[in-house]
C-alpha cells in the first residue's frame, strides 16, 4: 500500500469530561507548534519525507494546497476542530489575513529522515487568489456577540 497523494480533512471526535473536552489524538513521530503571524501571505513548501497533520489551536488561517495545477483554499479555525493531512509531494502554503496570529500543531509523520529541501520555500507557479482568501477569512471571523 503506497502513500496517498491527496490531502485528507478529518473532523475530530471529542469526549466531554467535566468541564474539559478531549479530542482524538494524532499519532506522530514529532510534534511542532507553528505560529502563522497576522497579515501573512506565505510561500509554498513541499515536503518529500513527511506527512503534515495540521490542527489549529488558536485563531484561523487559510491553508493553500496546489493539486492538479489548481489552488485549493481550505479555511481552518479553532472553532471547527479538524485535522488536515498533507502527504509528501503536495505543495502547500498559508494565508492569514486576520489581525491576530494563528497557532497550530503539526503532528509530523516521518517516512524517512528529513532533508534540507523539505524546508525551503518554492516559487508559486501562479499567484494566489487573494479575493478568495479574503472571503474565506471573513467566513472564519467570530461573529459579534
Contact status, residue 55 vs residue 104, Cβ threshold 8 Å: yes
Provide mean pLDDT across the span 52-76: 95
User: What is the per-residue DSSP string for 11-29?
Assistant: EPPEEEETTEEEEPP---S
Q: Indicate the DSSP class of residue 118.
A: G
Of the candidates 8, 136, 15, the residue with the CA atom closest to the CA atom of residue 83: 8
CATH architecture of 8-140: Sandwich (2.60)
3 pLDDT above the threshold of 70: no
Is the CA virtual torsion 78, 71, 28, 105 positive or negative?
A: negative
Give the confidence band of 1 by pLDDT, cuts at 50, 70, 90. very low
Query: What are the sequence ranges of the domains in the chain?
Result: 8-140
E strands present in 1-145: 8-11, 14-17, 20-23, 30-36, 40-41, 50-58, 60-67, 70-77, 82-86, 92-96, 102-110
Tell if the pTM clears 0.85, that is, is over it: yes
Q: pLDDT digits over 32-61, tens only?
A: 999 999 999 999 999 999 999 999 999 999
Q: pLDDT digits over 89-144, tens only?
A: 999 999 999 999 999 999 999 999 988 888 888 889 999 999 999 999 888 876 54
Amino acid at each position: 500500500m503506497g502513500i496517498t497523494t491527496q490531502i485528507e480533512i478529518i473532523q475530530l471526535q471529542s469526549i466531554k469530561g467535566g468541564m474539559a473536552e478531549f479530542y482524538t489524538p494524532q499519532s506522530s513521530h514529532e510534534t511542532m507548534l507553528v505560529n502563522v503571524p497576522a497579515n501573512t501571505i506565505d510561500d509554498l513548501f513541499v515536503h518529500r519525507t513527511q506527512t503534515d497533520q495540521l490542527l489549529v489551536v488558536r485563531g484561523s488561517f487559510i491553508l493553500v494546497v496546489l493539486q492538479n495545477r489548481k489552488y485549493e483554499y481550505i479555511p481552518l479555525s479553532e472553532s471547527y476542530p479538524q485535522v488536515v493531512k498533507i502527504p509528501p509531494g503536495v505543495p502547500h502554503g498559508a494565508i492569514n489575513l486576520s489581525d491576530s496570529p494563528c497557532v497550530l500543531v503539526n503532528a509530523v509523520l516521518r517516512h524517512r529522515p528529513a532533508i534540507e529541501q523539505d524546508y525551503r520555500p518554492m516559487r508559486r507557479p501562479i499567484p494566489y487568489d487573494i479575493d478568495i482568501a479574503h472571503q474565506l477569512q471573513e467566513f472564519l471571523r467570530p461573529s459579534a456577540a
